[in-house]
Amino acid sequence: MADRAPVSGTIATAEDMAALGRRLGAVLAAGDLVLLTGELGAGKTVLTQGIGAALDVRGGVTSPTFVISRVHPSLSGGPPLLHVDAYRLHGSAELDDLDLDVLVEDAVTVVEWGTGLAETLAEDRLEVAIVRAAGVDAAEPGEAREVTLTAVGDRWRGVDLGSLIGSDVDRSGQ
């Protein structure tokens, strides 16, 4: 259950989505869990690329759909990025088989398609839902997205989620 109301805003371009990831990555620390939801092409991996840039991790951050998970070590002594794509997993037992829990404490963990599967990896988490803005054609991947951040747990108390999305947001949850 969320501790406070979600915060939503419009992200206009892929570059803005990556910038949101960089702002989010700047506040993430070892042990943080971020769950990403959104349809194919919504921008989950682009957001994760921004997080990886902020964490200064090694290697290009790409979707781990076929390998399920990738660890990107930090180049500057920070936490590694554990990037997981749960799209092909068929339940929490398959997620448990990956033994991610041994890495989560020391890494920033981002799980695409993780809702309903990965909540047990950490007591606190940030849930990020990405949907195409109303009226946007799915064939136009560069168009605006609505992003909703939902903080769960004490870890996120005092973090201004609205400032992460930008100035033109609904800050009713702040």
Q: What is the pLDDT of residues 82-137, one digit of tens each?
A: 888 766 555 565 555 555 665 768 889 898 877 777 777 788 999 999 998 766 55
Given pLDDT bands bounded at 50, 70 and 90, which one contains residue 170?
very low
Task: Report yes or no: 55 and 78 within 8 Å, Cβ to Cβ.
Answer: yes
Rounded CA-CA distance 121/118 in Å is: 6
Residue 79: per-residue pLDDT: 95
Q: Which domains does the chain have, with CATH numbers?
A: 29-156 (3.40.50.300)
Distance between CA atoms of residues 55 and 24, nearest Å: 10
User: Each residue of 20-75: pLDDT tens digit?
Assistant: 999 999 999 999 999 999 988 899 999 999 999 999 998 888 776 655 667 788 99
pLDDT of residue 87: 60
